[in-house]
């Protein structure tokens, strides 16, 4: 993170990425001095309400973040930025999205946690659009023009006010990661009590093991001896507010509906108290590691991997068999995971996997049979991308094997 004083002094001349968070109430005009180099501008966590028309002078700008500010309208000047591809205005007060605020080269739009009821038809007229994050708004419908978004791969529309399943999304040829829980059209009367409910006083949280959009996972110990549960546990304490994927309660219910599977993180109990929602799970052994890393700006929707990391074709085949079994189990229980990725998968030296993170999961048993079939097809694409990503890190000596070629051919013919 840089400072405003550094910017004003000229110390930041020539930089490609600028991050300023100093409780700003107006756009620092000195940013324009970086027009010949600036590609990423992050003005998140300020008090901004507008952007100047001069922003369009930043001719190399590709990415802009302005989350946690006070915008009520998505600035129209964004549409005049010739090379702008990624727009992130999460957690503002945005209720208006003008058609001409959408850049022509838009690939990635993040408007999570705002107050948007209606989106312009122009959104469907952005042919490069790949990633669309709209969870936690007040949307009552989506533009019919989204049927034109042939490159759209990831969509988050959870926690809105949609009364009908958006058919214009279900037929998109590349959609693979889809989260849509927490809307009236997914409302369900079932309450899943697949595991017992305990008090938060039953355990004590220890060190943090990981955290994501929906909560924090910590190692925990029981406060009294247990006979019904394993000794080694982890607890995910959900955040109380809407996340980038939707409502924590929807995640909990979807996770419980899926039930037990050998390759899923095992849920053993839940906590449902005022302002405290948690899931108690078996502790994953320490010899498991993350299989992949989340997408980057360049890959947009596809996973990344640690440089130099590779797997043998035998390991890849074993992992695929397990993930296909997980996929079948999920959809037999009418749950769409919504985030089927290597970065949500743990593996060990024997290529055993444990799959988790149900933040984007949605129960879909209330949809028509035709809609259910399309939802399964969407997630099937995510599974194919998962396989393709693993093949991209296959050990070089195995890339000439018949097994590698067969898997590659299987993806080509899909």
CATH number of the domain residue 274 falls in = 3.30.200.20
> What is the count of structural domains for the chain?
3
What's the whole-number average pLDDT of the chain? 94
Give the mean model confidence (pLDDT) for residues 336-355.
Answer: 97
Tokens coding 24:
């700003």
Tokens coding 215:
């909560």
Phi, psi for residue 392 in degrees, rounded to 5: -70, -20
Q: Is the pLDDT of residue 327 over 80?
A: yes
Decide if 195 is inside a domain.
Answer: no
For residues 401, 406, 411, 412, the Cα torsion angle rounded to the nearest 10 degrees is 90
- Distance CA(62)–CA(298), nearest Å, equals 11
- The strand pairing partners of 293, in sequence order, are 304
Range(s) of the domain holding residue 330: 289-412
- Distance CA(399)–CA(323), nearest Å, equals 21
pLDDT at residue 96, rounded to an integer:
98
How do residues 367-386 score in pLDDT, each as one tens digit? 999 999 999 999 999 999 99
Query: Containing H/E element for 237?
Result: strand 233-238
> Confidence band (pLDDT; 50, 70, 90) for 156?
very high
Give the pairing type, strands 276-282 and 267-273: antiparallel
Q: Do 134 and 253 fall into the same domain?
A: no
Q: Do 132 and 259 fall into the same domain?
A: no
- Distance CA(183)–CA(140), nearest Å, equals 9
Decide if 192 is inside a domain.
Answer: no
Q: Which of 249, 282, 315 is the last residue of a domain?
A: 282
Q: Is the pLDDT of residue 211 over 90?
A: no
> Confidence band (pLDDT; 50, 70, 90) for 413?
low
The fraction of the chain above a pLDDT of 70, given in percent, is: 99
| Binding site as annotated, residues for ATP | 236
What CATH number does residue 347 fall under? 1.10.510.10
Decide if 193 is inside a domain.
Answer: no
Residue 191 CB burial class (10 angstroms; 0-12, 13-18, ≥19): exposed
Do residues 187 and 165 make contact, with C-beta atoms less than 8 angstroms apart? Answer: no
- Distance CA(280)–CA(235), nearest Å, equals 5
Q: What is the value of pTM for the model shown?
A: 0.94
pLDDT at residue 202, rounded to an integer:
94
Q: Do 260 and 277 fall into the same domain?
A: yes
| Binding site as annotated, residues | 236
> Confidence band (pLDDT; 50, 70, 90) for 249?
confident
Q: Is the pLDDT of residue 245 over 80?
A: no
- Distance CA(288)–CA(356), nearest Å, equals 13
Q: Is the pLDDT of residue 192 over 80?
A: no
Query: Containing H/E element for 204?
Result: strand 203-211
How do residues 124-150 score in pLDDT, each as one tens digit? 999 999 999 999 999 999 999 999 999
Phi, psi for residue 147 in degrees, rounded to 5: -60, -20
Q: Where are the beta strands (DSSP E) in 8-85?
A: 17-19, 40-42, 63-65
Give the mean model confidence (pLDDT) for residues 280-305.
Answer: 95
Q: Do 87 and 177 fall into the same domain?
A: yes
Q: Do 295 and 353 fall into the same domain?
A: yes
Count CB atoms within 10 A of the CB of residue 120: 17
- Distance CA(330)–CA(332), nearest Å, equals 6
Q: Do 324 and 228 fall into the same domain?
A: no
Cβ burial 132-170 (10 Å sphere, 16+ → b, else e): bbbbbbebeebbebbebbebbbbbbbbbbebeebbebbb
Q: Do 319 and 372 fall into the same domain?
A: yes
Q: Do 32 and 170 fall into the same domain?
A: yes
Q: Which of 138, 153, 186 is the last residue of a domain?
A: 186
Residue recorded with tokens 């756009």? 27
Q: Which of 136, 163, 186 is the last residue of a domain?
A: 186
């Amino acid at each position: 993170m840089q400072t405003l004083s550094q910017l004003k002094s000229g110390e930041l001349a020539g930089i490609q990425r600028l991050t300023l968070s100093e409780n700003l109430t107006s756009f620092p005009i000195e940013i324009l001095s970086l027009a010949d180099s600036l590609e990423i501008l992050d003005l998140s966590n300020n008090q901004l309400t507008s952007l100047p028309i001069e922003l369009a002078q930043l001719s190399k700008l590709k990415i802009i973040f302005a989350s946690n500010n006070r915008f009520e309208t998505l600035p129209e000047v964004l549409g005049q930025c010739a090379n702008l591809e990624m727009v992130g205005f999460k957690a503002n007060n945005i209720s208006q999205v003008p058609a001409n605020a959408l850049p022509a080269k838009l690939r990635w739009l993040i408007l999570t946690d705002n107050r948007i009821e209606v989106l312009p038809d122009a959104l469907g007229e952005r042919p490069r659009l790949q990633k669309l994050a709209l969870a936690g708004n007040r949307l009552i419908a989506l533009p019919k023009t989204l049927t034109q978004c042939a490159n759209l791969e990831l969509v988050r529309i959870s926690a809105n006010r949609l009364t009908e399943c958006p058919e214009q999304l279900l037929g998109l040829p590349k959609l693979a990661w889809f989260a849509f829980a927490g809307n009236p059209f997914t409302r369900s009367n079932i309450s899943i009590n697949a595991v017992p409910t305990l008090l938060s006083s039953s355990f004590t949280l220890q060190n943090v093991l990981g955290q994501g959009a929906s909560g924090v996972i910590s190692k925990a110990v029981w406060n009294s001896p247990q006979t019904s549960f394993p000794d080694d546990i982890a607890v995910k304490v959900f955040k109380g507010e809407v996340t980038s994927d939707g409502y924590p309660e929807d995640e909990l219910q979807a996770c419980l509906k899926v039930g037990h599977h050998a390759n899923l993180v095992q849920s053993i109990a839940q906590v449902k108290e005022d302002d405290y929602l948690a899931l108690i799970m078996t502790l994953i052994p320490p010899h498991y590691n993350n299989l992949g890393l989340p997408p980057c700006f360049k890959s947009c929707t596809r996973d990344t991997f640690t440089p130099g990391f590779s797997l043998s074709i035998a390991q890849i085949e074993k992992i695929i068999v397990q993930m296909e079994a997980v996929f079948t189990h999920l959809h037999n229980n009418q749950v769409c995971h919504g985030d089927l990725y290597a970065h949500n998968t743990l593996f060990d030296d024997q290529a055993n996997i444990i799959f988790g993170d149900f933040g984007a999961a949605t129960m879909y048993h209330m949809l028509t049979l035709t809609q259910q079939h399309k939802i399964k097809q969407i997630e099937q694409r995510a599974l194919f991308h998962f396989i393709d990503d693993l093949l991209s890190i296959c050990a070089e000596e195995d890339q000439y094997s018949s097994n590698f070629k067969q898997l590659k051919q299987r993806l080509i013919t899909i």
